Chain A
C-alpha cells in the first residue's frame, strides 16, 4: 500500500523509504503522537544510521485559533482563552495580557495586587519548572523524579486552588488588579510550602546533578551557541544557558519586579545540562522572590478603584443605583479601552512572551498577538539536533521545554 504523505515541502512516498547501510539516508517522521511527553510535535528527521543529519519540526497540531477567538470576546473574557495557551504557566499569560491592557488604559493596580501578582507568578514559575523537570527526567529515564517533582507541584496547585479557585487556568489576574482577594491563612500556607521547598529540590538534585546517566545524556548534547540563539529569537532559560544574561524581569522590569532582589543564573556551554542547571537555579531564585513578596504583603484593596473598569463591591449593590448600573454595564458590555497599540514583554518560564495588543476603542480587542517563546524555541531545535544521535532528539526536545499550546496557539 503506497501512500503519499505531504507536509510543507516534504513528500514522503511510504514505499520509497530506503533503510539500512552506511551512508544511506532515511527519512523518519516522529510524531505527532510519540512517547516523549512534550506534546504534539512532529519531527521529520533525515538520519544516516543513528546520526541526525537534518531535522524539520512540523507544528500546528494544536492550533486553536486563540488569537482569532480573543477578538470576539470582551477584554476580560479574552483572559480565559489566553490562559490556555501556555498551559504550564497560565498565570504568566494572564500577567502579560493584563499588563498590556493596563498600559493602554493607563492605570496601575494597587500595591497589594502587584505583590500578589508577583508572588503567584513566581510560584507558577516553580510549578512549571517542576513539570519540566519531571517530564524531562521521565524522558531520560528516571521515573522517580517525575513523582517527586509532581508532588511539589501538587502543593503549589493546592495554593492556587485556595487563592483562585482553580488548579490550572485560573484567569485570576484581571485588568486593574485581581479577581478576588486572598483567603485567610493563605500566607501561612505559602510560608509552609516555601519552608519545605528547598529540601525537596535538594532531594531531586541529589538524584540528578552528578548522576552519570544524567550527565552522559545531557552533557554536550544539543549545544546552542549564543549568536545562533540570538539570531533564532531564542529567549528564556535556553538563551541564558548559552551565556547571554538576558532576563526581561531585569532588563525591562514590569509589575514591580525592580523592587525585588534576585539573581539571574547563566550557563556556559549551551548544552542540555546547562539548561537543566539554569532552570533549577531559577527555581531557587523564584523561591527567594516569593519570600520577599510574602514579607511585603500588606492589607489593602486588590482592584483599582475605577468603577468604569472594576466591578463594584457586592455590598454597594444593595444601596447604590450607580453601582448597579456600573455592574450591569461591566458584566454585559465590558469596558472600553482607548485606541492604540501596546507591547508588553514578560519573562515566562519559557522565555520572553510578548503581548501585542491593538485596540480600536471598543470593548473587544481588535487584535491580540502573542509572541510565544516556545514558537521560536521549537525552530531552534534543528540547529541543536544536527549531528546528534537519535536518542539525543528526545533529550533536546525535553530540555528546550516547548509547550504546544503556545507554539500553535
Chain B
C-alpha cells in the first residue's frame, strides 16, 4: 500500500524563460501601466520594475492574472539617508513558465504605508508581518499586522539603519571610542545586561 515517487521531467530552462518574459510580458505590462511603473536596469537575469505604492495592487492583480502564482518573498530595505527612505521588494515567480520578476516599491519615511497583497498570495501574510516588525512599514489591509519575530512589547524597528546594533544596551554603553572591551569582561555578580558597560575606576576597571 505504499505509494511511489515519480521522476517526471522537472521545470527547466529558467534563463530562456526570462528572455521570453522580457519580450512578451514586460512590454505588455509597461503599456498597461504607463506611469507609476518603470523598468530598472538589471545586468543580471531577474528583471526588476519600480512600482509606485498606489499602483502596486493593480500591477499585482495584472501579474497574477498573467501567471505569477508564487510570491517568493517580501523584503524591506532601508536606504537611509536617501529619500524615499525605504523600499519594499517583492520577488514573484510564475510556475511552470519559470518567469521571475522583482518589484521594488519605494516608500517614503513620512508615510510608510503600502497596500497589502496577502489576499492575492497567502505567502505574503507572514512576510509582510516581518517587514512591519523589522522596518515599521505598514501594510494597509493586512488581517493581522503584529510583531512576528520580536517579542510583542518590543519598542523600535531593529533593521532600520538608525537602530543601533546592540539595541538598548548600546545607549548605555556610551560612545564607541570610549568603550571598554578588553578590560571589563563579565564577572560573577554583574547585573544582567551589563556586558560592555564601562566600569568605574573604583571597581578596579580602567
Contact = CB atoms under 8 A, between A and B. Distances in A.
Interface of A: 6-9, 59-60, 63, 65, 67-69, 72, 103, 209-210, 215, 219, 227, 230-233, 244-247, 250-253, 263-269, 273-274, 277-278, 281, 340-343, 345, 352, 354, 356, 358, 366-367, 369, 371, 375-376, 378-379, 408-409
A250 B10 contact: yes
A242 to B, nearest CB: 12
Query: 4 shortest A-B CB distances, which residue pairs?
Result: A233-B123, A252-B14, A371-B73, A369-B75
B115 to A, nearest CB: 18
Contacts of A341: 48
The secondary-structure label for the interface of chain A is mixed
A369 B122 contact: no
Nearest to B104: A341
Contact of B72 (A9, A215, A354): A354
Contacts of A8: 144, 146-148, 152
A252 B158 CA distance: 33
A361 to B, nearest CB: 13
A265 to B, nearest CB: 4
Contacts of B123: 231-233, 376, 379
29 contacts: A6-B152, A8-B152, A9-B146, A60-B150, A103-B44, A209-B2, A227-B69, A230-B69, A232-B122, A233-B127, A245-B9, A245-B10, A246-B96, A253-B14, A263-B7, A266-B5, A267-B5, A268-B5, A274-B3, A274-B5, A278-B5, A340-B43, A354-B91, A356-B75, A371-B72, A371-B91, A375-B127, A376-B123, A376-B126
Contacts, number: 150
Interface residues of B, number: 56
B152 A264 contact: no
A369 B5 contact: no
Nearest to A345: B72
Given A245-B11, A358-B77, A7 B152 contact: yes
**Which of B10, B121, B158, B165 has the most chain A CB atoms closer than 10 A to its own CB?**
B10
A406 B1 CA distance: 35
Contacts of B126: 375-376, 378-379
B67 to A, nearest CB: 11
Given A233-B127, A281-B5, 10 more contacts: A6-B152, A227-B69, A230-B70, A264-B8, A266-B5, A266-B7, A273-B2, A343-B44, A366-B77, A371-B73
A244 B95 contact: yes
Given A9-B144, A103-B44, A252-B14, A273 B91 contact: no
A367 B78 contact: yes
A232 to B, nearest CB: 5
B149 A59 contact: yes
Nearest to B40: A341
Contact of B73 (A210, A215, A245, A356): A356
Interface of B: 1-15, 43-46, 48, 69-73, 75-78, 89, 91, 95-96, 98, 100, 102, 121-123, 125-127, 130, 134, 144, 146-152, 158-159, 163, 165
A46 B96 CA distance: 36
A238 to B, nearest CB: 13
A354 B73 contact: yes
A345 B45 CA distance: 12
